[in-house]
Amino acid sequence: MTCIADFFTYETTKSVVVKSWTIGVINRAVQLLIITYFVGWVFIHEKAYQIRDTAIESSVVTKVKGLGMYSNRVMDVADYVTPPQGSSVFVILTKLILTENQVQGFCPEMEDKYSCKNDSQCTGRSRNTGNGYLTGRCVNYTYRTCEIQGWCPTEIDTVKVPIMYEAENFTIFIKNSIRFPLFNFEKGNLLSNLTSDHIKKCHYDPTTSPHCPIFRVGDVVRLAGQNFTKIAEKGGVIGIKIGWGCDLDRSWDYCIPTYTFTRLDSISEKNNVSPGYNFRYAKYYKHENGSEYRTLLKAYGIRIDVLVYGNAGKFNIIPTLINCVAAFTSVGVGTVLCDIILLNFLKGADQYKAKKFEEISEVNLPSDRSASTEMFKSTQTLSGGRIDEKQSTDSGAFSIGH
């Protein structure tokens, strides 16, 4: 029965005014910190009064310009940029290893691990060598090696070839258009203050020309914290990030992009298994008799990834009300903290507990209203000494003086 009686109880708040400089300063300091946080960080910095759209829609068009010299040949955009469609991901070739006049046939495998003394050493292993299929024959070359069927002669990619240093001065033009569908807001990175004459002359600089959409390759590599010679030698992936942070409560002109640069494959740069970036492709031709041959190219280059991100915000009453309620509710945290200090750490904690927590049984309640009034007006002497107690002007509030 005791458990049932304890379950069917009711608790109500009893207001006790504690006149203490220590606890008063703590209470107001905590409230001030909470208000400062919500005003300074939540509302001013994070703009919590706005509804935000992070589902940015974006299109990127790129164009590379510049001439280079490689293996006594003049290289233009069609030679060193792939793919040629002007997409957001493209490669600027900086080094090429060519294997010319390859035809389908039989030839010796050039890798040292396929050296042999007899045919039996060419049959007890995987047929696929990477350059072709083993025929099972051991043939004479400058040394005896296994024969393959495939494109011949096979590629030798360990030769030293120069890099195209002119690529450092190539320029990249980026045209970016974005849209925030929630607000039906559209804009591009070609700002209204940019004229055709200015675009022809400007190059991006984070200080002097931060809105120019033309980027010098050497500057992009440098701003990504890389060395052009090293990345041109082994290849690598550079990211050009276009960030849009738009406050639509302000003028349309204030929504402008920012550009940052980073190396995206920095992990592969540090290992010896497959450092850098390279790939192979081939150019196919036909002899007059109709037989096919090709030139195989192993290309090293700087891959550029143009990445677009952003969000837009605009005033909305719903997030404003939600965060205002959260702010007012959080101010009550000061009361919780002060109660913990009063009940456990300050001198006179027992007196505060006696005033804050009071248990009243139904059988002990006076039937007379005046008797009830006299109960609240009574003066008590608590353990630990006498204190002055007086009725607060608040309904049901007690004041404890220290």
253 and 269 both lie in a single domain: yes
Residue after which a domain boundary falls, among 314, 341, 372: 314
The answer as to whether 143 is a domain residue is no
- Average pLDDT over every residue of 365-371: 53
Q: Is 64 annotated as a binding residue?
A: yes
The answer as to whether 287 is a domain residue is yes
Give buried/exposed letters for 303-335 (b at 16+ CB in 10 A, else e).
Answer: bbbbbbebebbbeeeebeeebeeebeebeeebe
According to the model, what pLDDT value does residue 12 have?
Answer: 74
322 and 300 both lie in a single domain: no
User: 160, 33 in Cβ contact below 8 A?
Assistant: no
Q: What is the CATH number of the domain that holds 320?
A: 1.10.287.940
Q: Pick from 69, 377, 314, 307: which is nearest to 183 by CA?
A: 314
Mean pLDDT, the chain, as a whole number? 85
Confidence of residue 38 (pLDDT cuts 50, 70, 90): very high
CA distance 60 to 79: 22
234 and 346 both lie in a single domain: no
Please say if the pLDDT value at position 109 is more than 70.
Answer: yes
CA distance 213 to 211: 6
> Into how many domains does the chain fold?
2
248 and 291 both lie in a single domain: yes
- Average pLDDT over every residue of 3-15: 73
CA distance 133 to 70: 33
The answer as to whether 196 is a domain residue is yes
- Average pLDDT over every residue of 161-168: 94
187 and 211 both lie in a single domain: yes
Q: Is 279 annotated as a binding residue?
A: yes
The answer as to whether 393 is a domain residue is no
Q: Is 280 annotated as a binding residue?
A: yes
26 and 162 both lie in a single domain: no
185 and 241 both lie in a single domain: yes
Domain of 350, in residue numbers: 16-47+316-354
Q: Is 12 annotated as a binding residue?
A: no
Q: Is 311 annotated as a binding residue?
A: no
The answer as to whether 5 is a domain residue is no
237 and 276 both lie in a single domain: yes
- pTM, to two decimals: 0.76
Q: What is the CATH number of the domain that holds 244?
A: 2.60.490.10
According to the model, what pLDDT value does residue 239 have?
Answer: 97
Q: Is 171 annotated as a binding residue?
A: yes
The model's pLDDT over 320-342, given as tens digits with 9 standing for 90+, comes to: 999 999 998 888 888 888 888 88
Our CA angle for 210, 54, 322, nearest 5°, is: 120
269 and 344 both lie in a single domain: no
Report CA 310 to chain centroid distance, whole Å: 11
